[in-house]
């Protein structure tokens, strides 16, 4: 992806400064372990990824989405790099967060996607403020039987494809 597109993504992320719109006092941060990622770091991390991971139909799940910083960036990679419509890009985006205000803020920033209140580490746990629909969705998304069906067969080292040298050079 060209530098111009990364700049566009950063500008769009910065339309909403990360960590704004929600009161995050010290007690809350200690209780929830909230850590929010600045725009520059989001763009830097995405710069290391194969952008085909964001191709049409490829699901992006952020299990601790907060205000949606990574999901918003993923949406714009899908739209700007893969030329997807906003609704098609959002259809591939899923986010989970413990806090209702983060879920609501993420939904507002994305303008779509499937963003729910829940606990990704304990999906069956019913959270105070979680809707019945969100609880059912969490159980469905993280259902062991569903996960077992979707697991891909592991490849041994002789079956794995060697990494593209340009990717290796980019990363190291």
Query: pLDDT tens, 8-40?
Result: 888 888 876 555 555 666 776 666 666 678 888
Q: What is the pLDDT of residues 113-146, one digit of tens each?
A: 999 999 999 999 999 999 999 999 999 888 765 5
Residue 49 CB partners (closer than 8 Å, separation 6+): none
Q: What is the pLDDT of residues 38-59, one digit of tens each?
A: 888 999 998 889 999 999 999 9
The burial of 77, by beta-carbon neighbours within 10 Å (0-12 exposed, 13-18 middle, 19 or more buried), is given as buried
CATH architecture of structural domain 3-23+31-150: 3-Layer(aba) Sandwich (3.40)
Residue ranges per structural domain of the chain: 3-23+31-150
Structure tokens at 165: 């040298």
Rounded distance, CA 169 to CA 32, Å?
A: 38
What are the start-end ranges of the E strands in 64-134?
93-97, 114-117
């Amino acid at each position: 992806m060209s530098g111009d597109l990364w700049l566009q993504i950063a500008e769009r992320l910065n339309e909403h400064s990360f960590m704004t719109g929600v009161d995050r006092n010290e007690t809350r941060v200690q209780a929830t372990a909230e850590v929010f990622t600045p725009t520059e770091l989001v763009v830097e991390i995405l710069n290391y990824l194969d952008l085909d991971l964001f191709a049409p139909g490829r699901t992006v799940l952020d299990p601790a989405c907060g205000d949606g910083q990574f999901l918003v960036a993923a949406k714009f990679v899908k739209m700007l790099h893969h030329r997807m419509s906003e609704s098609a890009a959002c259809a591939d985006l899923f986010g989970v967060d413990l806090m209702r205000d983060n879920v609501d803020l993420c939904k507002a920033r994305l303008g779509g996607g499937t963003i729910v209140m829940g606990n990704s580490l304990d999906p069956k746990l019913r959270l105070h403020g979680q809707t019945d629909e969100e609880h059912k969705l969490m159980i469905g998304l993280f259902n062991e039987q569903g996960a077992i069906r979707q697991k891909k067969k592991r490849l041994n080292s002789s079956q794995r494809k060697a990494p593209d040298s340009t990717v290796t050079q980019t990363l190291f």
